[in-house]
């Protein structure tokens, strides 16, 4: 859905997000009504995201149904549900009928069972049937994100007949730029563009303008696959079919953008060790307890796993006491491993999400990341060794060690740690994918702990070997 930046140059009849926010916070019905006439719903959505819970509920309670209907496709389902509960039935029907198919289904899937049945009964017969059909599919599948409000034509007609039919359904169809030609069993034969119909003679048979060999997706496929297909093949819409290849609906390009945004947000959160489902609520609209609940799990797990590093330090206690200079460079060695491991994991997860990598490329990926690690680690090791040789204060140098020995241990340990961490960062997402786990969930939290432990072991083992 298009949104407008607050800093964009605006036409005289448009208002920015800040002005919309101020208008909503004024709680003046006449000012909100005036904004509804000129504000884009996408900007209204952004303004709503910046309201706190109490403000949002108070403002929603003052918005009349005719204004809410215009904003319905853009506001979170929880906000629509809140306002619907306080509206009389005729106005509930008005708002529900204004929702597009996919947004309506999202709302119905979130409300309580009793409310769901009540709202479904308020819908017109055709929309009720569409909603019940769409609710058969999980919200994370292509079927759950499609709309049935697309234009279809039979093949045995002329351009004039096609335009007459399209004129009758123009108000119901969500998209008319792509029109699908189907047979008697609703199987896709091809697609025509509205512009081709508009610029062709009326007696031209529709099949003469039809493009065949269309790409489609099964209704049970994951929504992210559908969005990636729309991006990869540069589609305005992706047909969704059942197991018998019958046309069920389409996923439009704006829905694909929304899916990709949701998936990228989910991956970012999981990489950071944030679990659970964030829903469609913005940051400020999510309660403190919900934020706490989604973050606490991994924080607790990692806190206990970090004790492993303590055991490693305890095991090498004598080495650390004897060569106290090692403590000066230990944080750098461990941190370098964490940074490079996270970089490697991020690159692999992104490549896998875009379909650039699969588990079959396991060997090539590991070899590539190992070489990158050697180059990064080698260069870092040389710089640190030179720093120790020429810049390390004499007061920090133990009497029984030379600068060459210290530089060698730290330099080699840093190189080994970076190589190891880079390879670990590449291996974990691929192994997670092989095990049918989400690579973003497994990779980052595990890398943090593993490279901490590996860094300590590598560092003190090399010190023990070099210093005898």
pLDDT classification of 170: cutoffs 50, 70, 90: confident
Q: 279-284: which pairs have CB atoms within 8 A and are 24 or more residues apart?
A: 279/76, 279/78, 280/76, 280/77, 280/78, 280/106, 281/76, 281/78, 282/48, 282/49, 282/50, 282/76, 283/49, 284/49, 284/50, 284/51, 284/52
Confidence at residue 281, expressed as pLDDT on a 0 to 100 scale:
62
pLDDT > 60? residue 30? yes
Confidence at residue 1, expressed as pLDDT on a 0 to 100 scale:
42
> Of 20-29, 253-262, 295-304, which gets the smallest average pLDDT?
295-304
Confidence at residue 6, expressed as pLDDT on a 0 to 100 scale:
39
pLDDT > 80? residue 272? no
pLDDT classification of 151: cutoffs 50, 70, 90: very high
pLDDT classification of 297: cutoffs 50, 70, 90: confident
Q: Across residues 107-121, what is the average pLDDT?
A: 87
pLDDT > 50? residue 5? no
Residue-wise pLDDT for 329-342, tens only, equals 898 998 898 889 88
> Of 111-120, 282-291, 366-375, 428-437, which gets the smallest average pLDDT?
282-291
Neighbours of 353 (CB within 10 A): 18
Residue 20 contacts by C-beta under 8 Å, 6 or more apart in sequence?
35, 39, 43, 44, 47
Q: Across residues 302-324, what is the average pLDDT?
A: 81
Q: Across residues 311-330, what is the average pLDDT?
A: 84
pLDDT > 60? residue 65? yes
* Domains present along the chain, CATH in parentheses: 17-138 (1.25.60.10), 145-259 (3.10.580.10), 306-467 (1.10.357.20)
pLDDT classification of 394: cutoffs 50, 70, 90: low
Q: Which residue, 305, 292, 215, is CA-closest to 251?
A: 215
Confidence at residue 7, expressed as pLDDT on a 0 to 100 scale:
38
pLDDT > 50? residue 61? yes
Confidence at residue 143, expressed as pLDDT on a 0 to 100 scale:
92
Q: Across residues 113-132, what is the average pLDDT?
A: 88
Confidence at residue 227, expressed as pLDDT on a 0 to 100 scale:
92
Confidence at residue 179, expressed as pLDDT on a 0 to 100 scale:
94
> What is the C-alpha separation between 68 and 52, in angstroms, rounded?
19
- Residue 293, classed as helix, strand or coil, is helix
Query: How much is the pTM?
Result: 0.65
Q: Across residues 154-177, what is the average pLDDT?
A: 89
């Amino acid at each position: 859905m298009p949104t407008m930046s607050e800093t964009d140059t605006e036409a005289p009849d448009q208002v920015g997000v800040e002005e919309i926010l101020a208008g909503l916070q004024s709680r003046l019905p006449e000012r909100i009504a005036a904004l509804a006439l000129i504000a884009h719903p996408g900007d209204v959505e952004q303004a709503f995201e910046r309201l706190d819970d109490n403000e949002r509920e108070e403002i929603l309670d003052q918005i009349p149904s005719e204004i809410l209907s215009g904003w319905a496709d853009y506001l979170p389902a929880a906000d629509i549900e809140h306002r619907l509960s306080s509206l009389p039935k005729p106005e509930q029907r008005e708002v529900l009928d204004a929702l597009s198919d996919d947004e309506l289904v999202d709302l119905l899937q979130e409300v309580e069972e009793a409310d769901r049945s009540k709202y479904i009964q308020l819908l017109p017969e055709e929309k009720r049937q569409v909603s019940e059909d769409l609710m058969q599919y999980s919200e994370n599948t292509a079927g759950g994100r499609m709309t049935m409000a697309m234009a279809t034509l039979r093949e045995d007609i002329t351009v004039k007949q096609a335009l007459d039919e399209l004129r009758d359904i123009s108000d119901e169809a969500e998209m008319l730029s792509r029109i699908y030609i189907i047979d008697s069993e609703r199987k896709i034969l091809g697609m025509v563009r509205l512009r081709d119909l508009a610029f062709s003679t009326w007696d031209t048979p529709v099949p003469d303008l039809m493009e065949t060999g269309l790409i489609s997706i099964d209704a049970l496929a994951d929504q992210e696959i559908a969005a990636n297909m729309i991006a990869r093949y540069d589609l305005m819409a992706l047909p969704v079919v059942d197991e018998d290849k019958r046309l069920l609906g389409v996923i439009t390009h704006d829905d694909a953008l929304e899916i990709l945004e949701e998936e990228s947000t989910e991956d970012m959160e999981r990489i950071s060790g944030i679990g659970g489902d964030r829903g469609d609520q913005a940051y400020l609209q999510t309660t403190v307890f919900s934020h706490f609940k989604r973050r606490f799990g991994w924080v607790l797990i990692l806190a206990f796993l970090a004790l492993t590093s303590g055991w490693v330090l305890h095991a090498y206690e004598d080495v650390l006491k004897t060569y106290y200079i090692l403590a000066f460079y230990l944080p750098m060695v461990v941190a370098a491993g964490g940074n490079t491991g996270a970089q490697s994991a991020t690159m692999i997860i992104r490549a896998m999400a875009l379909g650039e990598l699969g588990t079959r490329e396991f060997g090539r990926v590991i070899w590539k990341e190992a070489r990158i690690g050697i180059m990064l680690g080698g260069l870092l090791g040389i710089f640190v060794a030179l720093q120790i040789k020429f810049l390390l204060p004499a007061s920090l140098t133990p009497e029984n060690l030379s600068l060459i020995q210290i530089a060698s241990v730290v330099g080699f340990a840093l190189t080994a740690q970076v190589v190891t961490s880079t390879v670990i960062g590449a291996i974990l997402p691929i192994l997670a994918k092989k095990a049918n786990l989400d690579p973003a969930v497994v990779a980052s939290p595990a890398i943090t702990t593993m490279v901490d432990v590996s860094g300590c072991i590598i560092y003190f083992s090399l010190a023990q070997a070099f210093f005898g």
